[in-house]
Amino acid sequence: MGKTALVVGATGAVGREIVCGLCENENYDKIIVWARRELKFSHEKLETQIVNFSDVKGLPPREIDEIFCALGTTMKQAGSRGQFYKVDVSYPVNIAKWGIASGARRFALISSQGADERSRFFYLRAKGKAEKKIAALKYESVQIARLPAIKSERERVRMGELFTIWLFGLLPKFILTNYRPMGAQDIAASVIAAAQTDAKGVQIYHPRDFVQTHSE
């Protein structure tokens, strides 16, 4: 019997590729997606549930083996620090707590390179707080992927990522390897590969630890 996975944040670049990758992976029989709108993708394994993430605490438990959380926003989209914190910290933590009640064994969190709850930068501080809160829950396995900038066809282009991609294109490949941009498909493949291991406890990794990217 294959695994059942829940994916949240499936309308983003990495989340979308995670859904596609899981649907094609023989280790999974069912992929449940929580989203605020319908996906532009269908598959026989896929079930999409429209969810208000503010109401996650009230959702009934389901039989879930693993949760992949790729929720995230930008300060520009969020409009305020409070709303940003809600999307990048409160929602993932509440989903993780729901997962514990549902008997999920593994939680895979998409985070950011440089995440640190003591950072002087609000974005990295928020990411660090989400990591710490989720790591403290009683999962058999918590896997935290700290991402570099993402090369992808986003619905909304992040100018900071475009600048990072341009900048690293000027530098030798051996400089700041973990900060070099990666394709969303490569990142998703590494996150899925990490979830097939027998890792226990809290594991913090860079996607390049698991997959050799196609872009290099």
Q: What integer best gives the mean pLDDT of the chain? A: 86
| pLDDT for 113 | 87
- Tell me what the mean pLDDT of segment 101-128 comes to: 95
Q: What does residue 104 show for φ and ψ, rounded to 5 degrees?
A: -65, 140
pLDDT value at 4 more than 50: yes
| Paired tokens of 30 | 């069912």
Higher-pLDDT residue of 8 and 147 is 8
The pLDDT assigned to 174 comes to 45
- What's residue 168's pLDDT? 38
pLDDT given at position 180 = 66
List, for residues 79-101, the tens digit of each pLDDT value.
Answer: 999 999 999 999 999 999 999 99
* Per-residue confidence (pLDDT) for residue 177, from 0 to 100: 55
Inform me whether the pLDDT recorded for 154 exceeds 50: no
Identify the weakest region by mean pLDDT among 37-46, 113-122, 152-161, 178-187.
152-161
For 122-151, what is the mean pLDDT?
A: 93
Compute CA distances 183 → 40, 86, 152, 170, 214, whole Å.
20, 27, 6, 18, 8
Residue 30: pLDDT band by 50, 70, 90 thresholds? Answer: very high
Q: What is the pLDDT of residues 39-64, one digit of tens each?
A: 888 999 999 999 999 999 999 999 99
Domains of the chain (ranges; CATH) run 3-207 (3.40.50.720)
